[in-house]
Structures are given as structure tokens and as C-alpha cells.
Structure 1
Amino acid sequence: MPKQILITDPTLRDGNHAVGHKLGAEAFIAYCKAAEAANVPIIEVGHGNGLGGSSMLVGESRLSDPEIFRISREHLINTRLAIHVIPGFCTIKKDLSKAVELGVDVFRIAAHCTEADVTQRHIGYVRESGKEAWGILMMTHMASPEVLLEEARKMESYGAQAIVIMDSAGAQMVDDVKARISALVGGLSIPVGFHGHNNLGMAVINSVTAVNEGATILDGTIRGFGAGAGNTQLEVLVGILHKLGYDTGIDLFKILDAATMAEKELGFIAPSISPISIVSGLAGVFSGFAKPVARAAAEFGVDPRDVFFRLGERKAVAGQESLIIEVAKELAAKQ
């Protein structure tokens, strides 16, 4: 029997970064229908920064979270509905409870790679509500395999039913992925997954590496739509996994149809590895910072590459957008 790989598709969440969080109802409906037709098992939807992420600081969403959940739920029958949850952006009482009420199936509770403690209450609430909770560790190039395992074990103890590590900056090489995935697979009793970004062109090979090291969950977005240089390109990933003998349950031709539809009919522009994306990956800075860095650099008359490398030195993470302005000001003052 071929080894089963569970694919989660965050096109309608991470892809929202690529369009300034402005995906409209028509995009959610069209892509949910296409993904459902292709037998994609899980679709993740929402603002790019997840539940409660819409704000002036990180970008306001065109649709509210409840609108997104209602629209998506209506057009998904066999495909499960997932959301990204970062404690601090959302509240349990207002946001998380509403998501449960509106039929979200899988809650991916995320934290910076060394801050798993903040997920305990959220994971506990989701499990008590009878829903599926995964632990997500972000920016994992910033922690050693040993530290990641320690943090992942915390999430497992809180009730997480899977752990996914994110290469949020697209900074990891094959050996980095090998070390991290093998440590987690060997040290946990729940499934392990990988979420790649393509800043250095490594997203697909890193995802395959993760599977070869024992991961059974992979993230991928159609045409690679996502922050910065984009995510692991879903239709490429599915084709390669099938070629290698893995079973995703996804219809290859129909996911290829979804890729054609997404670019032609939804107005998406497929991401590419731009010079600034390469710098983001080399600096180890969150891919979603590309646009705010460009704006700040232009405003203060500094080189965006310098901003990225300075942010990397200061170990900036998602949610610290205000630090971009601070760094740009500092660089301008030194000129």
C-alpha cells in the first residue's frame, strides 16, 4: 500500500497575504468548489495572519472572519475546513467560539517556535469543543531541533493531535529540514507535518525531504500563492508525490484545472522568487514582511535589503510590523 500523505491547502489563507488580504467572496466560492472537485482533504481559509488578524497594522481583510467561514463552509462538503489561529490576534470567548459555532473542522493553533506555552488554553478549548486541534510552530529556522522537540512536546501535552513546523521565512536547507523533522518524528507520538516557503527555491524539495524523514502532513498552495515568494506549489507537490509513489487522494488533473482557474479567473498573480524574496530568505525574516519593508524603505529613503538584514539581526517575527518602521528610521538616521 502506498504511504498516505495528508495535504492541507492554505491557498485561501496564506494566499491572502499575496493580495493584501483582499480576497472576496467570489474567490472563496470558486476555489472551494475547485478544491472540493479535486478531493483536497483540508482547506485553510481566512486573513493571512489567521483568526482575528485583520487590522490596520498588518492589513485589513476584505471579508470578516465569520463571512469567510460561512461562505467556505457552504461550498465544502467532503473537504474539511481549517483555520490558522495565533493567540494574541484572537480571543477564545469571541473569535474561537464563533469559529466553532460556524463549523470549522480543524484548528491550527500557532506560535513562534519557542513560545508554545501561549497555545495551551486555545488547544484545550478546541479539544473541549469536540474539534480537531493541531499545534503549529512558526519561524522554525530560529530554533534547534532539540528546542523544537521540547516545544512540540508541550503542544502534544496540551492535546494537539498533530504538529506542523513552518519554514515561515523560506530560510531552511535540506539538512535543516532533515534534522528538524526526524527529531519530531522520533520524539512525538502524533503526526508531524511541514509548511514550506519558496524564498530560496527550496519549498518543494524541502517538502519531499520532510516526507522522506517521516512527515505525513504537508502544506501547499495553488500556484504557490502565499507571502513573499510564495508557498510550496501544490500542483507540483501533488504530481511529484504521486510520481514517488505516495498517495494524497487528490485528483491530479483536477488540481491542475484548479491551478489554471486560479490564475485566470481569480486575478491571482503567481508569485516568483524576486531579489527581495531571496534577501528575506537569507536574512531569515518572515516572508509576509516584503510589502511593508518596501513601503518603509521608500518612505525613509533606505535600501530594503538593509532593512531585511537588520530585521534578521534583531530576530523579528510576524506581528512585529512596527519594528520595520523603527529599523528603517534607524538606517535613515545613519545615512
Structure 2
Amino acid sequence: MHPLIISDPTLRDGSHAIKHQLSRENLQLYSQMAEKAGIAVLEVGHGNGLGASSLQLGESLLSDAEMLSICRSNLRQTLLSIHVIPGFATINRDLRAALELGVDIVRVASHCTEADLTKRHIEFVRGRDRTAYGVLMMSHMAPAEVLGREALKMQSYGAQAVILMDSAGAYLPKDVTAKIQYLHGILDIPVGFHAHNNLGLAIGNSLAAAEAGATLLDGTVRGFGAGAGNAQLEVLVGALHQSGWDTGIELYSLLELAEQAETAFAKAPKLGSMSIVSGMAGVFSGFVKPVERIATEYHVDPKAIMVELGRRKAVAGQEDLILEVALHLSQQAGS
């Protein structure tokens, strides 16, 4: 079996669950214990990535520079990683500063059919001799051939791996197997997988990805993340070890980390009705809370809103559609 690299976005994707309010103490504790546990890569920042702190998306308690500096000071073997969405993060204002603070890996992300947007950022990172990965978000929305075309673009820009994100937790294991196998067959660089747990399949899907050729897997302690959360890191590592995979992580140290992080900030997400519906509809997990709030305000069924958002193929950044759909459903009910 090939070795696996486990990337831990607890301090990035997880921050969605607490409205991006990770404290200095949270970051200090977690980065120190991640290093001790042998986690290969620690991803840090606002839930939507570098430069995303704003009134629209939610303001982080600490700046990007503060978060990265705290974690950088505690990491020796563990690599420091960031998530970058072009449009939120600019090259000159955000990315250059992050690299100067000692970031090792930059994961440059786009919607799964818009890899062209990642070109300048990937080339900038590679030009400064740092590691750059491409990330295809909401990857359930495109067939394998389209994902392959976009991944090949990222490879041509200099990306050293491509990660498929199941941003809506919509995949079944057979879908993961088919798409990872396809990318693994056409790319000259490693393939990774980032799972969400809307249908309770994050661990199964991650195992399917590894079996299909993925060498990079993501997970957060206690599954800490938006909506139904991510693949639960300690469960994922335990299952991988039981299956014979080498992760390089000391499981008991990871279990201790998970217990302390849960006490401090990383509460396990609830796999509720709306998370299930969002997974079935293929809608980004982060829509759940605003959908519930707007549904209450306009007296419509939140599940109906979610289904209609899925029909319209809504993606992150199109939160204004929630209100439009709620108004439409409200008018229909009154007619």
C-alpha cells in the first residue's frame, strides 16, 4: 500500500462551526499537539481561506497574519498550509505576506469547472519555490471527464497535486472511486480527497479514495466543520491503520489531541435533517444555517429551499439565492 499524507484543516474548515472565532489559545494548543501527534500538514485560517475575513463571510477573531504566526512558531516537522480562493485572496496583499510568514503549502481552490482562475496564484507560489496544490470545489457537480480537464490545467500551471472536494457531502463511495481512479490515471501528480459528512459517508468515501489511488486525505478532529462537518480525523486514521495504511500519525497522541480540542473548542457537529437534505441536493453545507434562518423569517419549509437551491445548482458565494428562493416559495404558497 502506498503511504498517505494526512492534511488537517481543523483550524481552517473547522472555524466555520464557530463563526471563525478561533482564539490565540485555541491555535496555540492545537498546533503544539498536532506537531506532537505527527500530523503531516496543518491548514490554518478563516473558514473560506486566506483574505476571506469580511462582514459578508464573517470576520475572524484574529487576522490571517496572527493565526499563521502563532502556528508557525509551534511547528517543526508539521507543514503549515493555507486555503486560497482567488478573489478572496489577492497575490500582492495576501499571498505574498503569507509566504513571508513561512507557509509551506498553498492550496489554490476554484469551483470545479473554473480552474483557469487558479493559474496566477499557482504560478506565483511555484515561482517562490513553495508547494502549490490545486483544489476543485463542489466536485460532485461535474463528471470525471470535466474534472480531468480542469485538473490537467492545474497540473500545467505547476500544481504538485490536485484535491477533489466533496463540498456538499454528496458523494457515494462508487462516485469517489470512479472520479479518483480517472484522475489518478491521467495526471502525473498526486490526487487527494476532502470529504464532508452530510450523508454519513465521509470515512467510507475517504477509504474509497485511498483504495482508488488518492495519496492525500483531509480530516478534522471530531469532524469539526460547517454543517455536518468533515471526515472525523481520529476515526479516519484509526480506520486507515486497521486497513494497513501508513499515515505517519501516532494514533494515541491524536486521540489525546481530539479530547483536548473538543473540551476547548472543537465540538462534534450534528448530522441533522438539513445536513442530510443538503447532501442529497448537492448544496454546500455552509448554506444550512442561513437557509434555516430565512425559512423561519418567510414561513417556508427549509428543506424545500434546499432542494430548490440544488435544482438551481447554487454554489458558495451565491447566498443571495436563498432569499430569492424563499420569496418564490412564499409567493407560491400564498397563491
When the two structures are superposed, what TM-score results if normalisation uses the length of structure 1?
A: 0.98
- Quick check: 1:57–1:321 contact (8 Å CA) kept in 2? no
Deviation at 1:291, TM superposition (A): 1.3
2:298 is aligned to 300
Tell me how far apart the structure 1 counterparts of residues 95 and 293 of structure 2 sit (CA, whole Å). Answer: 33
Instruction: List 4+ stretches of structure 1 deviating above 4 A.
Output: none
Number of residue pairs matched by the alignment:
333
Tell me how far apart the structure 1 counterparts of residues 46 and 323 of structure 2 sit (CA, whole Å). Answer: 22
Deviation at 1:332, TM superposition (A): 2.0
1:86 is aligned to 85
1:290 is matched by which residue type in structure 2?
Answer: V
SS at match of 1:169: coil
Deviation at 1:6, TM superposition (A): 0.3
2:318 is aligned to 320
Deviation at 1:25, TM superposition (A): 1.0
Matching of residues 19-98 of structure 1 within 5 Å: 19-98=18-97
Tell me how far apart the structure 2 counterparts of residues 156 and 267 of structure 1 sit (CA, whole Å). Answer: 37
SS at match of 2:316: coil
Deviation at 1:79, TM superposition (A): 0.6
Tell me how far apart the structure 1 counterparts of residues 322 and 45 of structure 2 sit (CA, whole Å). Answer: 24
Q: CA RMSD in A?
A: 0.9
- Quick check: 1:141–1:172 contact (8 Å CA) kept in 2? yes
- Are 1:268 and 2:266 an aligned pair? yes
SS at match of 2:170: coil
2:293 is matched by which residue type in structure 1?
Answer: R
1:332 is aligned to 330
Tell me how far apart the structure 2 counterparts of residues 94 and 269 of structure 1 sit (CA, whole Å). Answer: 33
Q: After superposition, what is the alpha-carbon deviation per residue over 1:14-67, rounded to whole angstroms, capped at 9, x for unaligned?
A: 000111111111111111111111000100010110011111222111111111
Bigger mean CA offset, 89-98 vs 298-307: 298-307
- Quick check: 1:177–1:206 contact (8 Å CA) kept in 2? yes
Amino-acid identity (%): 58
Tell me how far apart the structure 2 counterparts of residues 168 and 148 of structure 1 sit (CA, whole Å). Answer: 14
Tell me how far apart the structure 2 counterparts of residues 306 and 57 of structure 1 sit (CA, whole Å). Answer: 24
Matching of residues 129-144 of structure 1 within 5 Å: 129-144=128-143
1:285 is matched by which residue type in structure 2?
Answer: V
- Are 1:240 and 2:213 an aligned pair? no
2:60 is matched by which residue type in structure 1?
Answer: S
Unaligned runs of 5+ in 2: none
Deviation at 1:310, TM superposition (A): 1.0
Aligned counterpart in structure 1 of residue 286 of structure 2, from 277, 285, 288: 288
SS at match of 2:227: coil
SS at match of 1:135: strand
Deviation at 1:267, TM superposition (A): 3.0
Q: After superposition, what is the alpha-carbon deviation per residue over 1:116-162, rounded to whole angstroms, capped at 9, x for unaligned?
A: 00000000001011110000000011000010000000000000000
- Are 1:113 and 2:95 an aligned pair? no
SS at match of 2:168: coil
- Quick check: 2:221–2:266 contact (8 Å CA) kept in 1? no
2:304 is matched by which residue type in structure 1?
Answer: D
1:226 is aligned to 225
Deviation at 1:179, TM superposition (A): 0.9
SS at match of 1:23: coil
Deviation at 1:329, TM superposition (A): 2.1
Tell me how far apart the structure 2 counterparts of residues 104 and 256 of structure 1 sit (CA, whole Å). Answer: 26
SS at match of 1:193: strand
When the two structures are superposed, what TM-score results if normalisation uses the length of structure 2?
A: 0.98
Unaligned runs of 5+ in 1: none
Bigger mean CA offset, 77-86 vs 267-276: 267-276
Matching of residues 144-155 of structure 1 within 5 Å: 144-155=143-154
Tell me how far apart the structure 2 counterparts of residues 307 and 227 of structure 1 sit (CA, whole Å). Answer: 18
